[in-house]
Amino acid sequence: MANSRYEYVKAFERENYLLPDTFIVIRVDGKGFHKFSQHYRFDKPNDLRALGVMNRAALKVMQKYSDVLMAYGDSDEYSFLLRRKCELYERREMKLCTLFASLMSTYYMFYWNLEFSEKSIEEDMVPTFDARAVVYPNFQVVRDYFSWRQVDCHINNLYNTAFWNLVKLGLTPQESEQRLMGTVSSDKNEILFKECGINYNNELEIFKKGTILVRELKDYTRKVDLSSRQKQREEKSRRKAEIKQYHVDIINDDSWWESRLWLNE
């Protein structure tokens, strides 16, 4: 950048560098997706095609940046796990948040046009996302974070499944909300089974447990104090690794985590 007498304005800029040697989770959320889903007439309580658009967008983000080892998503939300040694954009918080939010917005739009060619995106109702970055000190906290998001997925989906099926039976949204007020999980399951003829256990796993994307590294062995050349080889290995999709209960599955030690690198 050329020097000029106006360059002093750069002194007002501030950067927030995320703590080194910590795990970074970037959570991307749809902005105003309640209105967005209404406008484009999503299937209720879940729109499988719209979830597919989210998953394809998140997968593209992971393919673009090998530092992303895992991602978890449900509804209009996705959480991306960046490896502990990640140096993407020098760990600048604003850069990372704007990057992931803009990528998800762009890729969502792209894959929406492929999946919903009959529902063209309108100028005043475009899909947009915001993002936040949080650092976690150890892998146990990271595990608890993803468990929290998966529990949230289950709680929200059980409520929405009961709510919208009551509406389909003829209740107004206000009546459905009143009917479910104060109920616990067992109550909602009973309402679905006895009043709606639905066994919640038979609902698709993607609705109940969300979607997990994992960069599956082969023949992984933990290494320390890598040389620059070794780091380049590791980065190449991550970039070439297959990214697989799962819909599993990660909360209670220790073996699932233990078989993927590279997530704790």
Q: Is 33 annotated as a binding residue?
A: yes
Q: Is 29 annotated as a binding residue?
A: yes
Q: Please answer whether residues 131 and 27 qualify as being in contact, where contact means their C-beta atoms are separated by less than 8 angstroms.
A: yes
Q: How far apart are CA 245 and CA 51, in angstroms?
A: 13
> Phi and psi of 244, rounded to 5°?
-110, 155
Closest CA to 79 of 52, 93, 97: 97
Closest CA to 101 of 122, 124, 132: 132
Closest CA to 178 of 198, 160, 157, 163: 163
> Phi and psi of 141, rounded to 5°?
-70, -35
Q: Is 34 annotated as a binding residue?
A: yes
Q: How far apart are CA 252 and CA 230, in angstroms?
A: 35
Residue 208 corresponds to which tokens in the numbers above? 């109940």
Q: Is 227 annotated as a binding residue?
A: no
Q: Is 170 annotated as a binding residue?
A: no
Q: Is 32 annotated as a binding residue?
A: yes
Q: Is 76 annotated as a binding residue?
A: yes
Positions at the binding site: 29-34, 75-76
Positions at the binding site for GTP: 29-34, 75-76
Positions at the binding site for Mg(2+): 29-30, 76
